[in-house]
Structure 1
Amino acid sequence: MTLLRARLSCLGSLCCGRRDISFFTNTSPSNWSKVVSDAEKIVGYPTSFMSLRCLLSDELSNVAMHVRKLVGTKHPLLNTARGFVYDSKNNLQMRGLVVLLMSKAAGPSAASPDLLQQDMVSGIYPSQRNLAEITELIHTAFLVHRGIVNLKEWTNSDGPLKDMQFGNKMAVLSGDFLLANACTGLAQLNNTKVVELISSAIGDLVQGIYYENSSAVEESCPSDDITVASWEEQMFLSHGALLAKSCQAAMELAKHDKQAQVLAYQYGKHMSLGHKMNSDLQPFLKATAGEPVSFSLNSAPVVFHRQIVGPESWLLQLQQATTIGRQLDYSKLWGTIKAEKGVSSAIDLCCYHGDKALEAIRCFPPSEARSALENIACAVTKF
Structure 2
Amino acid sequence: MSLRCLLSDELSDVAMHVRKLVGTKHPLLNTARGFIYDSRNNLQMRGLVVLLMSKAAGPSQHTASDLLTQDMVSGIYPSQRNLAEITELIHTAFLVHRGIVNLKEWTNSDGPLKDMQFGNKMSVLSGDFLLANACTGLAQLNNTKVVELISSAIGDLVQGTYHEMPNSLEDNSLTDEINMVTWEEQTFLSHGALLAKSCQAAMELAKHDKDAQGLAYKYAKHLSLGHKLNSDLQLFVKSSSADPVTFSFNSAPVVFHRQIVGQERWCHQLQQAKTIGRQIDYTKLRSTIKLEKGVTSTIDLCHYHGNKALESIQCFPSSEARSALENIARAVTKF
Q: Matches of 1:90 and 1:292 in 2, distance apart?
A: 24
For normalisation by structure 1, the TM-score amounts to 0.85
- For 2:292, the aligned partner's letter is E
Segments of 4+ moved more than 4 angstroms? none
Contact 1:119 1:125 (C-alpha < 8 Å) held by counterparts: yes
Q: Amino acid of the residue matched to residue 373 of structure 1?
A: L
- What is the one-letter code of the residue matched to 2:6? L
State whether structure 2 residue 42 is matched by structure 1 residue 91.
Answer: yes
What is the CA–CA distance in structure 1 between the aligned matches of 2:170 and 2:287, rounded to whole Å?
19
Match of 1:184 in 2: 136
Task: Determine the structure 2 residue equivalent to 1:174.
Answer: 126
Residue segments in structure 1 that go unaligned for 5+ positions in a row: 1-49
Shift of 1:249: 0.3
Q: Which position in structure 1 is the counterpart of 2:229? A: 277
2:56 matched to which residue of 1?
105
1:217 aligns with 2:167: yes
Displacement, 1:187?
Answer: 0.6
Pick from 56, 59, 80: which aligns with 2:31?
Answer: 80
Instruction: Tell me the matched-pair count.
Output: 332
1:302 counterpart SS class: helix
Q: What pairs up with 1:347-358 in 2 under 5 angstroms?
A: 347-358=299-310
Instruction: Tell me which residue corresponds to 1:227.
Output: 179
- Report Cα offsets for 1:276-298 as digits up to 9, x if no partner: 00000000011122321121111
After TM superposition, the structure 1 stretch with the greater mean CA deviation from structure 2, 255-264 or 157-166, is 157-166
Consecutive unaligned residues in structure 2, runs of 5 or more: none
TM-score, normalised with respect to structure 2: 0.97
Pairing of 1:1-383 with structure 2 (within 5 A) = 50-114=1-65, 115-116=67-68, 119-213=71-165, 216-221=166-171, 222-223=173-174, 224-383=176-335
The letter of the residue matching 2:261 is: V
Distance 1:117 1:282, change over 3 A: closer
Distance 1:308 1:352 in 2: 19
- Structure 1 position 338, deviation (Å): 0.5
Could you tell me whether the CA contact under 8 Å between 2:59 and 2:69 is conserved in 1?
no
- One-letter amino acid of the structure 2 residue matched with residue 111 of structure 1: H
Higher RCO (C-alpha under 8 Å, 6+ residues apart): 1
Distance 1:156 1:339 in 2: 39
Asked if 1 retains the 8 angstrom alpha-carbon contact of 2:309 and 2:329, the reply is yes
Moved more, 54-63 or 189-198: 54-63
The share of aligned pairs that are identical, in percent, is 82
Question: What residue identity is the alignment partner of 1:86?
Answer: Y
Going from structure 1 to structure 2, the CA distance change for 1:378 and 1:117 (only over 3 Å counts) comes to: closer
CA contact (8 A) 2:64 2:207 kept: no
RMSD of aligned C-alpha atoms? 1.1
Q: Which amino acid aligns with 1:161?
A: L
Cα–Cα, structure 1 residues 271 and 365, in superposed 2: closer, same or farther, change >3 Å?
A: same
Q: Deviations over 1:227-285 (max 9, x none)?
A: 10000000000000000000000000000011000000000000000000000000001
